[in-house]
Amino acid sequence: MTEKGPPSLFDFQVNGFGGVDFQRDDLTAADWQRAVAALERHRTRAIFVTLVTAEIDLLCRRFERIERFRTANPALARMVPGYHLEGPWLLPEPGFHGAHPRGPMHAPQLAEFERLQSAAGGRIALVTLAPEWPGSAEFIAELARRGVHVSLGHTNASEGQIDAAIAAGARFATHVGNGTPGVLPRHDNVIQRLLARDELTACLIPDGIHLPPFALKNFFRAKPPGRVLFTTDCMAGAGAPPGRFTIGEMTVEIGADRIVRQPGGGGFAGSALAPDEGVSRVQQYLGLSAEAAVQLWSSAPLAAFGVKLEEGKIDA
C-alpha cells in the first residue's frame, strides 16, 4: 500500500472489492459495508461501480438493488456517485469479448439504455461499447447529448468506425491493450488505431500484468498530455487475500502472483489491483513524482468524468 492518508482516490472501473462481487444478486447491506470499508482502507474516496455484460432484465434488477442499498447507506452513496456500464453492447468475436459472456451481446438500443438508466436512478455516467454495431453513432450521439460519457472497448473497430464514434461524442477508450486477442496483425490493429486518436483519452490498467511495464510506458508516451487515465478494472479479489472469487456466474482463482485467471487459464478476468497500489505502480513504472501519480488517480479522472465529490453527484 502507498503512504497513509485520507481517502482521495477515484476509480471509474470497479467490478468488486474486498471479497465482494458487485455482479452478484445476493449481496447484503453487510457486503456493501465491507466493500466500502475495504476501499477506504486503500485510500479510495469514490468509485463507479461497474456492471458487466448480462441480459438487460438482469442488469436492471442489479441496478435497482444497488440503488436501494445506496438510499439506505450514506457511506455507500458517498462512495458510489455513479455507474460504469461495460456491455452488453460489445463485440462477441473470440478474443475481443474478453471475460464477458458472448450470448447477451448485441447492437445498442436507446430504449434499453433508458430502462437501465431509470433502474440506476439516472446515475449511469459511463458506457463502454463497441462502435462497429449498426446504429452505434446515433446511439453515442444521444448518450453524449444526455451527458453520459462513452468509451470504446472490447472492439475491433475500423478507422472509419472510430471516426464516426468520435464525431458522435465518444471521448474515451477502455483498458487499451486488453479486451483483444493475444495475436493481432503487426501494425493494423485496434490498439494502434485507438492510441493514434488524440481525441480519445486512453484508460490503462497499470498492474504490470494486463500491460507489461514497458508497454504501459509506450502507451503513456503515445498519448498527448492529459489524454491518459488509470483504472484498476478490479474485481472481488482486490483488497482481499488470494483465493477463489466470483465475477457474476464465473468463478476465478487468484494465486500469490495476484493474477486473476479465468477458468481453464483462458486469460485474465479483471485485476486484483487496489487503487492505492495503482498509484505506486504508476509512479514506479513511469518514473512520475508521488504528487503526479496521485493526481492521475484523483483530480484527473474526477475532472474527466465531471464528478463533484462535495455534492456526491455527477455534474452533467
Of residues 200, 230, 210, 239, the one with CA closest to residue 295: 230
Helix (H) or strand (E) holding 35: helix 29-41
The structure's pTM equals 0.95
2 falls within a domain:
no
CATH code, domain carrying 170: 3.20.20.140
How many structural domains compose the chain?
A: 1
* 69: containing domain: 9-306
69 falls within a domain:
yes
Q: How do residues 133-167 score in pLDDT, each as one tens digit?
A: 999 999 999 999 999 999 999 999 999 999 999 99
Q: With left for phi above 0 and alpha for psi between -120 and 50, is residue 121 left, alpha or beta?
A: left
| In contact, 164 and 134? CB cutoff 8 Å | no
d(CA 226, CA 222): 11
| In contact, 148 and 126? CB cutoff 8 Å | yes
136 falls within a domain:
yes
311 falls within a domain:
no
d(CA 298, CA 256): 28
CB atoms within 10 A of CB 261: 15
What letter represents residue 282's amino acid? V
41 falls within a domain:
yes
Dihedral of the CA atoms 98, 100, 106, 107 (nearest 10)?
-60
Q: How do residues 96-124 score in pLDDT, each as one tens digit?
A: 999 899 999 999 999 999 999 999 999 99
316 falls within a domain:
no
d(CA 123, CA 48): 9
d(CA 226, CA 52): 27
98 falls within a domain:
yes
d(CA 98, CA 100): 6
The list of the chain residues with pLDDT below 50 reads: 1-2, 312, 315-316
Cα→Cα distances 316→14, 93, 123, 149, 306, Å = 21, 33, 10, 9, 7
CB atoms within 10 A of CB 177: 20
108 falls within a domain:
yes
Distance from first CA to last CA of the chain, Å, rounded? 33
